[in-house]
């Protein structure tokens, strides 16, 4: 018997896994997920806002308040202090939007995180880059901000030859690039891992040689584990992106950093 007939595992082209056909012009699955993420986020907070705030919160209001509390206590107070509470709506929106764009990667039948495409992470990172630079200029003035970035206080002057180029690259190039790539790469890697183990499980379960069928349990178990792991990654990436945004804004707001 030809070995090729035992198992047929064919990994599809990468673009077939990531690039989706347009449903209507310019609107594909990734676009729909990003729009739905906004609508779901708005829907949760709209339902929360309509409920009587004086009674004990439950349902959507409870969820909304838990998220606000989480953002304020676990991110803003830890990185920015009380002065950062004015950034709650911005950081809250970033967190929810990224999380809701990550989660479809583990939702059956959807199984595509919108952040596994570079468009949304790139925009988010670019927006954060603009926001923290504008905040720095607003708080310290253009000269003060660029001076504090290019010539960090407390560094011996001789080291500025080395530090200043590093700071320029770090603040203006690496930060937005790492923000975008971290989110995108993590979600893409998770998506590809799920695809690989799903295809491997399917191939083994459908193998012509019946002895291989039980072996399919192994990649299927890994698939289940990775699905659970991706739930954690979806949350973690949203948390990391939001925390770093808070850190960058806080650093831009205060010259002493």
Partner 1 sequence: MLISTIILAAEDMGPNPIAPENKELFWGAGSFLVFLFVMRVFLVPKVRKGMEVRYNAIRGGHESAQAARGAAQRDVAAYEAALAEVRAEATARIDAARQTLDAERQAKVLEANARILAKRAEADGALASARAAARGDVAVAVGSVTASAAALVLGKTADAALVKRAVDNSMSGGRS
Q: Could you say whether residue 89 binds partner 1 (CB under 8 A)?
A: yes
CA dihedral 27→30→31→32, nearest 10 degrees, is: 90
Query: CA-CA distance, 207 to 124, in Å (whole number)?
Result: 44
Q: Could you say whether residue 124 binds partner 1 (CB under 8 A)?
A: yes
Site for partner 1 in 175-214 (CB under 8 A): 184, 188, 212
Site string for partner 1, 1-20 (x = CB under 8 A): --xxxxxxxxxxxxx--xx-
Give 89 or 228: the residue with its C-beta nearer to partner 1: 89
In the complex, the smallest distance separating the C-beta of residue 38 from partner 1, rounded to whole angstroms, is: 4
Give 92 or 226: the residue with its C-beta nearer to partner 1: 92
Q: Could you say whether residue 122 binds partner 1 (CB under 8 A)?
A: yes
Give 92 or 246: the residue with its C-beta nearer to partner 1: 92
Contacting residue, 92, 128, 234, 249, with partner 1 by CB under 8 A: 92
Q: Which long-range contacts (CB under 8 A, 24 or more apart) does 250-256 make?
A: 250/79, 250/80, 250/81, 250/84, 251/132, 252/132, 252/133, 252/135, 252/136, 252/139, 252/140, 252/145, 253/80, 253/83, 253/135, 253/136, 253/139, 254/139, 255/140, 255/144, 255/145, 255/148, 255/153, 256/153
Site string for partner 1, 127-166 (x = CB under 8 A): x---------------------------------------
Encoded tokens for 57: 């919160």
Q: Three-state DSSP class for 24?
A: strand
In the complex, the smallest distance separating the C-beta of residue 22 from partner 1, rounded to whole angstroms, is: 8
Contacting residue, 70, 77, 110, 118, with partner 1 by CB under 8 A: 118
Q: Which among 62, 39, 40, 42 has a CA at the least distance from the CA of 52?
A: 62
- Residues sharing a CB contact under 8 Å with residue 6, sequence separation 6 or more, in sequence order: 207, 208, 209, 212
Stretch that binds partner 1, among 104-112, 113-121, 135-143, 153-161 (CB under 8 A): 113-121
Query: CA-CA distance, 59 to 47, in Å (whole number)?
Result: 9
Footprint on this chain of partner 1 (rule: CB under 8 A): 3-15, 18-19, 22, 26-28, 30-31, 34-35, 37-38, 41-42, 45-46, 48-49, 51, 53-54, 57, 61, 64-65, 68, 88-90, 92-93, 96-97, 101, 114, 117-120, 122-124, 127, 184, 188, 212
């Amino acid at each position: 018997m030809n070995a090729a007939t035992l198992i047929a595992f064919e990994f599809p082209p990468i673009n077939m896994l990531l690039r989706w056909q347009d449903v209507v012009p310019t609107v594909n699955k990734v676009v729909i997920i990003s729009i739905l993420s906004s609508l779901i986020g708005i829907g949760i907070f709209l339902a929360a806002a309509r409920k009587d705030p004086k009674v004990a919160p439950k349902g959507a209001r409870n969820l909304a308040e838990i998220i606000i509390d989480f953002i304020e206590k676990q991110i803003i107070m830890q990185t920015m202090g009380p002065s950062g509470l004015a950034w709650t709506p911005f950081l809250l929106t970033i967190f929810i939007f990224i999380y809701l764009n990550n989660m479809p990667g583990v939702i059956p039948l959807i199984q595509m995180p919108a952040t596994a495409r570079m468009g949304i992470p790139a925009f988010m990172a670019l927006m954060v880059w603009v926001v923290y630079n504008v905040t720095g200029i607003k708080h310290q003035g253009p000269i003060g901000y660029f001076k504090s970035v290019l010539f960090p206080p407390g560094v011996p002057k001789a080291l500025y030859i080395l530090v200043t180029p590093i700071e320029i690259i770090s603040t203006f190039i690496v930060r937005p690039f790492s923000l975008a790539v971290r989110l995108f790469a993590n979600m893409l890697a998770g998506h590809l891992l799920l695809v690989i183990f799903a295809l491997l499980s399917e191939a083994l379960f459908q193998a012509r040689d019946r002895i291989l069928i039980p072996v399919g349990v192994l990649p299927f178990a890994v698939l289940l584990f990775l699905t659970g792991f991706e739930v954690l990654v979806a949350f973690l990436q949203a948390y990391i992106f939001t925390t770093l945004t808070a850190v960058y804004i806080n650093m831009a707001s205060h010259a002493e950093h």
